[in-house]
Structure 1
Amino acid sequence: MKVLSVGELHSAEKRLKRLIPESLTVYGFLYGINRNKPSTLEVVVDAWPDFKVIICRPDSRKKGALDHRKRVTVYSTDAQILRRVLAEENAIDWSIRSFLGGFNTRHAPILKQVASARGIGVRWFTNAHLMYLPDCSLLPSSEVDSETESRISPLNISHVELVNKTWKFGGDENGYRTIENLISNFPSCCITDGQGRPVSWILVYDYCAMGMLHTLPEHRGKGYAKVLICSMAKKLQALGYPVYCFVEEENAVSHRLFTKLGFIEDPSYRATWFEFNF
């Protein structure tokens, strides 16, 4: 496996952009890394420049890379090469507990077979629709009133604890650090109440997908989620970010909302999340 240099990372990003939407998770990580966003990952490929497998994995040389949940992301255009890379090469450190996210479900049997051959347990978390917006002109006309619009702002560090309490994978110190990093380094958007306290919000993960969309129960039914998605999508496109998100298969409400707002998907593609060596 070859570790990509700074210049090669930029070249890989350009190639992955042509392979959107399936490449979006790895593309999103590279997009952030290439714009000097904090990262504990390194990027490796099976060959250069004509790679068929590209992997984002923890870089033990970087501070904090092995302090919390280790994340791995893989994109491949060739199942046979992917199998060889995972089985024969030092592509992934199978000895540590890791979380594999945004993985193409078509390749899930390969991962399970390779892990089983190594005697490593694999635990499935969820499957999700990958929904993306090619052009913000697809968004419906804004219906937000001026009073609500005046209460839209980015999140700040004082809001980390609130977001952490409501995040599905948060609630602990790792969640706090993750959210603190995202609010500090990536776009975010919230709607506040009369006292300036966030009542609805959306963040951007370090792989550039929108996420953590949440509205406090007592403020639901006011259309805040739609307002935030539209506002964030426009902001991301203006900044050059990809505009996409993952919606869990069982979340029919969110899937309908993003579809209504013009987000599209490849119906044959699903992303999946696994934990291995747990």
Structure 2
Amino acid sequence: MEEVLQEGKQFRLVDESELPEIIEFLGNYLPESLKFHQTLRTYLKDRVWEFHFYVTKTWPDQAVILHFPGMTKSPNGKLYESFSVFCPCEQLNNLELLTEEDILIDWSQPVYMNFTHVKIMNKLEDLYSNMGVMDKMYGDIYGLVDPDTRCEESATETVFAEDAEMLQLTPEHAQIIHDLYPANHMECVELFEKLIETLPCYGIFSSSGELAAWMVQSYYGAMCSMQTRPEYRRKGYGLILAKYLTNVVRERGYIPFVVIRPENDPSKGLYAKVGFKKYFETVRAILRPHEMSSDAQGGGTEED
């Protein structure tokens, strides 16, 4: 098992006792810190997986924080091969510390970055340009316009067509969800089992008991992996799930949000009906040294 390092050149491992104060600090930068802020809250409250967070040794004067997600299926399965980063957008020059970090991060190899604020990624791309190139995939963060307001419709009061019903998922459903998850090459089945055991994850089941549609709360606080089997579409199941899970997530103390691909107009329309708006653009990427080939697949872990 790979050793967890206590510190690197510019960053140090965060002790769990520090997390509430860091969450409070990140709360000053909402919504741009939303994904990182909710990742920390989920970790502290609902421990889905063993993550590792690092801050600069000069924190909070130079406010850069890293998250190394232990479940990500990076090509070599290394602990420090994949990460995400947050830095206040008015302090982007502090990201130079990240490119100087040669203990936690091996810049001579491809680095896989999870969805990160577009301004941070643009700055990193500038800083990385002398080392390599960045292959990017874009997403949009949509969040509930008023997180204190419940969605009007409650799925518990919904009369489903054809005697369908909504139930909390169980770990036995993890395999089918993983099989149909668009980014399943970057996630393991065990992650979905942990999500289902720990967080609100709901499915709509047909009268015959077949899982027709589903949606889960993820380890980073968002609502994700909404899927409806083709034969069960156009029944309104997606909207029902989105409204219900939005209420559950909000009542559990989280800010409801999703990551949507820019070209996914159906999802944008669905979440507009729930009361979401676009907060900011986000990017996941592979950073490849100039001397490395470019035939690997995209990095990151999440997508709607």
TM-score (norm 1): 0.85
Which of 240, 255, 264 does residue 227 from structure 1 map onto?
240
> How far is 1:147 from its partner?
4.1
How far 1:169 sits from its partner (Å)? 1.1
In 2, the alpha carbon distance for the partners of 1:18 and 1:117 equals: 33
Deviates more, 1:90-99 or 1:11-20: 90-99
Letter in 2 for 1:19: Y
Aligned to 2:272, which of 245, 259, 272?
A: 259
SS at match of 1:35: helix
Report the CA distance between 1:51 and its aligned residue.
4.5
Could you tell me which amino acid in structure 2 is paired with residue 180 of structure 1? E
Q: Find the partner of 1:109 among 113, 119, 122.
A: 122
Fraction of identical pairs, as percent: 21
With over 3 angstroms needed to count, the CA separation of the structure-2 counterparts of 1:104 and 1:222, relative to structure 1, is same
What one-letter code is carried by the residue in structure 2 that aligns with 1:204?
Answer: Q
Letter matched to residue 233 of structure 1: T
CA distance in 1, matches of 2:175, 2:101: 41
Unaligned runs of 5+ in 1: none
1:52 equivalent in structure 2 = 63
1:22 to 2:36 alignment: no
CA distance in 1, matches of 2:154, 2:168: 19
Distance 1:76 1:21 in 2: 13
> Secondary structure of the residue that 1:196 maps to in structure 2?
coil
Cα deviation for residue 176 of structure 1 reads 1.7
Contact 1:26 1:55 in 2 (8 A): no
Aligned residue type for 1:131: Y
Structure 1 segments, 4+ long, off by >6 Å, are none
- For the structure 1 residues 93 and 56, does the alpha-carbon distance in structure 2 shift closer, same or farther, using more than 3 Å as the test? farther
Matched residue SS, 1:259:
helix
Q: Secondary structure at the match of 1:146?
A: coil
Give the number of equivalent residue pairs.
Answer: 269
Matches within 5 A, 1:153-168: 153-168=167-182
Of 124, 128, 141, the residue aligned with 2:136 is 124
Task: Say if 1:173 and 1:26 are closer, same or farther in 2 by CA, change over 3 A.
Answer: closer
Within 5 Å, which residues of 2 pair with 1:164-203? 164-170=178-184, 174-203=187-216
Q: How many angstroms does 1:271 deviate by?
A: 0.5
Which whole-Å CA distance do the structure 1 matches of 2:192 and 2:69 have between them?
Answer: 19
Query: 1:56, CA displacement in angstroms?
Result: 0.8
CA contact (8 A) 2:164 2:205 kept: no
User: Take 1:96 and 1:39, find their aligned partners in 2: how far apart are those partners?
Assistant: 25
Whole-Å Cα distance in 1 between the matches of residues 158 and 68 of structure 2?
44
- 1:247 equivalenced with 2:274 (yes/no): no
Distance in 2 (alpha carbons) for counterparts of 1:234 and 1:244: 11
Q: CA deviation at 1:50?
A: 4.0
Rounded Cα–Cα distance in structure 2 between residues aligned with 1:138 and 1:237: 8
User: Who is 2:100 aligned against?
Assistant: 88
Matched letter for residue 230 of structure 1: K
- Structure 2 residue identity aligned to 1:132: G
Alpha-carbon RMSD: 2.7
Question: What TM-score does the superposition give when structure 2 sets the normalisation length?
Answer: 0.79
After TM superposition, give the deviation of residue 259 of structure 1 in Å. 1.4
Secondary structure (helix, strand or coil) at the match of 1:67 reads coil
CA shift in 2, pair 1:10/1:22, >3 Å: same
Instruction: Describe the shift of the 1:23–1:197 C-alpha distance in structure 2 as closer, same or farther (beyond 3 A).
Output: same
Structure 1 residue 193: deviation in Å?
A: 0.8
- Separation in 1 of the partners of 2:208 and 2:53? 44
1:72 is matched with: 83
Whole-Å Cα distance in 1 between the matches of residues 41 and 111 of structure 2?
A: 22
